[in-house]
Amino acid sequence: MAKSSSSSFVCNDCGAVHKKWAGRCDACGAWNSIVEEAPLSAGPRTAGLGAGRGRRIALSSLSSAEEPPPRTMSGLPELDRVLGGGLVAASATLVGGDPGIGKSTLLLQAAAAFARQGLSCLYVSGEEAAAQVRMRARRLGLADAPVQLAAETSLRDILTTLDALRPDLAIIDSIQTMWADNVDSAPGSVTQVRAAAHELVNFAKRRGTSVILVGHVTKDGQIAGPRVVEHMVDTVLYFEGERGHQFRILRAVKNRFGPADEIGVFEMTGAGLSEVANPSAVFLSDRGQATPGSAVFAGIEGTRPVLTEIQALVAPSPLGTPRRTVVGLDAARLSTILAVLEARCGIPFAGLDVFLNVAGGMRVTEPAADLAVAASLLSAREDVALPPDMVIFGEISLSGALRPVTQTENRLKEAQKLGFTQAIAPEKSKQTAVQGIRVRKMPDLITFVGDVFAAG
Ligand code: TYD
Ligand code: MG
């Protein structure tokens, strides 16, 4: 039974390798995700490499006169920003997202945009037939763009074609449909995804073609076999948004050529994705009169300020364990803020259902949102509306103190631009004066509660 002893057990969610099958992956805690797979290498080596038998590597210093890598702008500013200032030649990028969120649409538009800038582009669809892609292109008004199209899943054939054509950009939609015939497992499995990504990234580096891989994300927010792919590529972008909302956010979570955490905002329309140049205005657009439970957070996404509305609803709970429902924010963060409100300010939320939501389908990850979250919770609980022309930012520490956050001036300027006239910020924030906006600085949460709600 040498065959079975040489195979390994791999978790389809996180890619961890186990010696034997188990119902639950020790590494990521996922249930029923471990499958048996043929190993990638022939097996462990019997002897160590040893010193003195290799070739000596030529070393160099850190300073060099080399040019920065050449970049091409797509002409879609939101996309170029997330890429760190355009597409880098010979780079490998992973674009992840839920099925149906609009990855294929985005990349078809990107391919067309780059092609119109003079790059030779190849779009390989492993999911849709060529006619389907052509139909979508026609609907998006891109049919005349000089993009070469293939519907193919055989990695060998794709690599042969790429090698013959040497395009500037190759888009592979999606990596989970690719099939390498030298690997003995099903398409979409971790081993296949890893092998296909490895081959394609290698090709990018060797031949100077930029490669963009599309990857599907599973329900719990991970691409099947994704960790492995994330390590291999230069840039990881996530395309996110709520399916019911028209807004989509392209977020750089890793970028070897630019800042991470940069976002691009798009709107899904009947004619594809259109760029949203001023996200703050859009995220705040459906704000009516001042309502209890609403607070405006002046945040920073990457290098630019974005204002979002945080909404809370607090109601008596019929349940023994009250509900805590969060959309667009971290649930653990909400629990922490509720605990601090209770322990440091004596405001209990026991017996109350709490629903928290970021308007417009935006996802906020900055700790600077803490104070705005607390404000919306208190506003909802006390049924007191906050002034509609007020923005709030600040991180709450476990002691109830407000910690200063970065880029105070940028936040205030953006708020001022959108017509806000007052702001609440942590006391130790950098001294900045922005005309037309009155800043109240507060040392801790208790002061905030007493000052703004007069109930504390
Ligand atoms: P798609 O790009 O196929 O998603 P993915 O590749 O991430 O699975 O997008 C699918 C959704 O986008 C589909 O539900 C319809 C919607 N859509 C529009 O609303 N307008 C459009 O112009 C297009 C092309 C798609
Ligand atoms: Mg698709």
pLDDT tens per residue, range 108-128: 999 999 999 999 999 999 999
Kindly indicate the confidence band of residue 56, based on its pLDDT and cuts at 50, 70 and 90: confident
Residue 241 banded pLDDT, cuts 50, 70, 90? confident
Per-residue pLDDT of 162-195, as tens digits, reads: 999 999 999 999 899 999 998 888 887 888 898 9
Q: What is the mean pLDDT of residues 374-381?
A: 96
| pLDDT tens digits, 323-351 | 999 999 999 999 999 999 999 999 999 99
Confidence at residue 108, expressed as pLDDT on a 0 to 100 scale:
96
Mutational pocket test of ligand 1: of 105, 139, 212, 273, the residue with most ligand atoms within 8 Å of the beta carbon: 105
Residue 456 pLDDT > 50, yes or no?
Answer: no
- Calculate the average pLDDT of the chain: 88
Q: Mean pLDDT throughout 450-454?
A: 85
**Residue of 417, 301, 303 whose CA lies nearest to 360:** 301
Nearest residue by C-alpha to atom 9 in ligand 1: 102
Distance 127 CA to ligand 1 centre (A): 13
Is it true that the peptide bond before 174 is cis, omega within 30 degrees of 0?
Answer: yes
Please write the tens of the pLDDT for every residue from 384-417.
999 999 999 999 999 999 999 999 999 999 999 9
Q: Summarize the confidence of residues 206-225 as an average pLDDT.
A: 79
DSSP state of 451: I
- Does residue 278 carry a pLDDT above 70? yes
Instruction: Give the percent of the chain with pLDDT over 70.
Output: 93
Identify the nearest ligand to the CA of 96 by its number.
1
pLDDT at 294: 94
The pTM assigned to this predicted structure is 0.81
Q: What is the mean pLDDT of residues 278-304?
A: 86
The alpha carbon of residue 13 and the mean position of all alpha carbons in its chain are separated, in whole angstroms, by: 18
* Radius of gyration of the CA atoms of the chain, in A: 25
DSSP state at residue 177 = G
99 in contact with ligand 1, CB cutoff 6 A: yes
pLDDT digits (tens, 9 = 90+) for 28-39: 888 888 888 776
What's the confidence (pLDDT) of residue 225? 61
> Residue 91 in contact with residue 204, Cβ under 8 Å?
yes
C-alpha to C-alpha distance for 240 and 102, rounded to whole angstroms: 9
**Residue 100 Cβ < 6 Å to ligand 1:** yes
CA of 378 to the centre of ligand 2 (A): 42
